[in-house]
Chain A
Amino acid sequence: MSINNQPAVVCEQVSKIFRQGSSQVMGLDQVDILVKAGDSICLSGPSGSGKTTLLNAIGGLAKPDSGTITIGEHTLSSMSDSERAHLRLHQIGFVFQSYNLVPVLSALENVAFIMEMQGRPKQEIDTLAHAILNRVGLEGLYDRKPGQLSGGQQQRVAVARAIVSNPTLVLADEPTANLDSQTAIQLMELFQTLNQESGTTFIIATHDTRVNQFTNRQIVMQDGRIESDNRA
């Protein structure tokens, strides 16, 4: 797939307000972003600036209070829950910040699970799942349950799951947290390769300053707003 001009994600005037009792927090404050297919974005900003909230909104997991979000040709607000679920399953790869793996499934099964739900043939699933785990440096750990893996290893299983089925969009929240610098760099190189070879669009929320060396665009957030947006 080559990089074209069709936008992958468009956010227009997206706002999200969290109300707690009488106080309000602007999770997102009139965010405008146009993500081109093939963009690889490093989304940074201080803690509480709205990175996770933005990723959730783009993933169709949190409804904005105002504004519209479009993924490819789909406008999220006009889709049903099950249509959004279908979109997530088939087109978006997720790495969540807090919780990522099903504890009763092995590393391999966690990766294979999504592909099975997508209805891919068994043979293909098996090959792809093994290959991707090898690629994130987890050879031989296929049958371990998440509880038997280190934090960094779990993180890599989550990354493997997010990218294994070649989604058009990957939303990764702190994928390099818990990783030593060498593993973090390997992972970012993997993202970069996928971005360049397959044209996969990445949005990576992170505090890790090393990440932006591997991306072609850097967006910085502050208090729910876009503070800066630079292309490399």
Chain B
Amino acid sequence: MIARLAWRNLWRNKERSLLMITAVAIAVCAMLFMVAMTRGFMQGILDSGIHNLPGHIQAHANRYLDDPSIDHRFTLTSASLQNVLTNANIEHWSQRVKVPAVVQSEYASQGVTLLGIEPEREPQDPRLGYKIVAGKNLSSDSAGILIGERLAEKLETELGKRIVLMTQSAEGGLAERGYRIVGIYQTTFAAREEGEVYLALEQSQTLLGVDDQISELAIFTSDDSDLERLQTELQTKLGSYIDVLRWDQIDEYLGASMKTMSGFVFIIVAVVFLTLSFALVNTLIMAIFERTPEIGLLLALGLRPKAVVLALTLESMVMIGLGLILGNVLAQFILLGFKDGVDLSSVAEGLAMAGASPYLSAQLRLSDWLTTNVLVLILGLLTSWWPARRAARLDPIEALQKT
């Protein structure tokens, strides 16, 4: 009967209830949308940070990160590789040589990072604006070099021409060799386009004289929620002369900003809902004020104040609940439209500076969804309970006479 009373009272003032439900729905939808966009933005930064070549987890020889030269290299024998990399969470992995080098054309020279990669294992992400604008992409048997368009401009060279690559060899001497430019790439990240040149892994190993040794093992996971466990597991298997680090340890700035944004998301949610709470409390107080005599009647007849609180709280929780459901459905629809991302290429220069991908996609984690809903329910319960409790403390006789 309490439930029936609550339900009937809810529809007593249809306009007001519908208005409240709509307000909750819009607020919830807005919250979810903002959370999703922020997440999407974060993921964009993360993706470009990670797919820019790093990987979720990287392994290097000790001291490589302080001094990324060929002196700090390591080998993974096939057997130990198999052993290490048989993990369900690993989506793919790749070996890299990554050392400082100098490229030289007939007209100019430039300091760069030389990357020896396994091209088939490292598909460059077109979402990051990566594309080949001349020639073709590297392949593992390719003997030539792949450079960025900006670097080509700087060196005043072009596809098909030869450039000279110089770096320190494994013996400590100078390794120097000419390569034909087989491809020119573009990306939204100017610094990369100017500073990274690519060889097939074997080519780079030959140049440096390191057989099958590498500077870096990069691991990409399908599930980035439990990186720490994977990290520990890999560290144990690879041994202590290798450092296994997570992306947020390698790029501490990126890691820290992700954490900050995560916290920020829920501040947004809280602020939106607090604003809504004032409207809610106000409406509930109005509704209760209108009903003072009947609340007095119920109390006078001997209904426990708790039952009155329950009836009133139930009423507004149904309202909030309906708004919540509606808001979630609405948000789902809107987010569906953003699923494939919005192409922000036109403003991508600015985003690239912030380190984000030019595609902004809305992303909602289950945990975000849950947190938002639980937060709304808890705050809703408080904002409903408080006016209800006040009503239950009315003096029955005074309340009865307010007709």
Q: Which residues of B contact A117 (CB under 8 A)?
A: 1, 302-303, 307
Task: Report the separation of the CA atoms of residues A104 and B403 in the bound assembly, to the nearest whole angstrom.
Answer: 16
Task: Report the separation of the CA atoms of residues A102 and B297 in the bound assembly, to the nearest whole angstrom.
Answer: 8
A86 interfacial by beta-carbon distance below 8 Å = yes
Task: Report the separation of the CA atoms of residues A197 and B401 in the bound assembly, to the nearest whole angstrom.
Answer: 34
Contact-residue bracket for chain A: 20 to 34
Of A56, A94, A104, A114, most buried by chain B (CB within 10 Å of CB) is A104
In the complex, are the beta carbons of A113 and B397 less than 8 A apart?
no
In the complex, are the beta carbons of B5 and A102 less than 8 A apart?
yes
B9 interfacial by beta-carbon distance below 8 Å = yes
In the complex, are the beta carbons of B403 and A85 less than 8 A apart?
no
Task: Report the separation of the CA atoms of residues A43 and B296 in the bound assembly, to the nearest whole angstrom.
Answer: 24
Which of A81, A82, A96, A105 is in CB contact (< 8 Å) with B400? A96
Task: Report the separation of the CA atoms of residues A87 and B146 in the bound assembly, to the nearest whole angstrom.
Answer: 91
Quick one: given A62-B397, A109-B4, are A103 and B302 in contact (CB under 8 Å)? no
Within 36-68 of B, Cβ neighbours of A (below 8 Å) are at none
Interface size on B, residues (CB 8 A): 24
Of A56, A87, A96, A112, most buried by chain B (CB within 10 Å of CB) is A96
Within 292-315 of B, Cβ neighbours of A (below 8 Å) are at 293-294, 296-305, 307
Smallest Cβ-Cβ distance to A104: which chain B residue: B8
Quick one: given A61-B396, A89-B302, A116-B1, are A96 and B307 in contact (CB under 8 Å)? no
Q: How far is the CB of A27 from chain B (nearest CB, A)?
A: 11
Q: Which residues of B contact A20 (CB under 8 A)?
A: none
Which of A59, A61, A82, A102 is in CB contact (< 8 Å) with B298? A102
Q: Which residues of B contact A113 (CB under 8 A)?
A: 1
B16 interfacial by beta-carbon distance below 8 Å = no
In the complex, are the beta carbons of B401 and A98 less than 8 A apart?
yes
Quick one: given A82-B304, A96-B300, A114-B301, are A103 and B294 in contact (CB under 8 Å)? yes
Q: How far is the CB of B215 from chain A (nearest CB, A)?
A: 75
In the complex, are the beta carbons of B301 and A99 less than 8 A apart?
no
> B1-23 CB contact bits vs A (8 Å, 1 = yes)?
10011001100100000000000
Task: Report the separation of the CA atoms of residues A116 and B5 in the bound assembly, to the nearest whole angstrom.
Answer: 13
Q: How far is the CB of B65 from chain A (nearest CB, A)?
A: 69
Q: Which residues of A contact B300 (CB under 8 A)?
A: 59, 61, 88, 94, 96
Q: Which residues of A contact B301 (CB under 8 A)?
A: 88-89, 94, 114
A217 interfacial by beta-carbon distance below 8 Å = no
Which of B1, B4, B396, B400 is in CB contact (< 8 Å) with A98? B400
Q: Which residues of A contact B397 (CB under 8 A)?
A: 56, 61-62
Smallest Cβ-Cβ distance to A162: which chain B residue: B301
Q: Which residues of B contact A98 (CB under 8 A)?
A: 293, 400-401, 403
A90 interfacial by beta-carbon distance below 8 Å = yes
What are 28 residue pairs bridging A and B, where the CB atoms are less than 8 Å apart in the complex?
A: A56-B397, A59-B300, A61-B397, A85-B302, A86-B302, A88-B301, A89-B303, A90-B302, A92-B302, A96-B297, A96-B400, A98-B400, A98-B401, A99-B294, A99-B297, A99-B401, A100-B297, A101-B297, A102-B5, A102-B294, A102-B297, A103-B294, A104-B9, A104-B12, A114-B301, A114-B302, A117-B1, A117-B303
Q: Which residues of A contact B (CB under 8 A)?
A: 56, 59, 61-62, 81-82, 85-90, 92, 94, 96, 98-105, 109, 112-114, 116-117
Task: Given contact pairs A61-B397, A92-B302, A94-B301, enumerate 16 new A-B contacts (beta carbons under 8 Å).
Answer: A56-B397, A62-B397, A81-B305, A96-B300, A96-B400, A98-B293, A98-B400, A98-B403, A99-B297, A99-B401, A100-B297, A103-B12, A103-B294, A104-B8, A109-B1, A109-B4
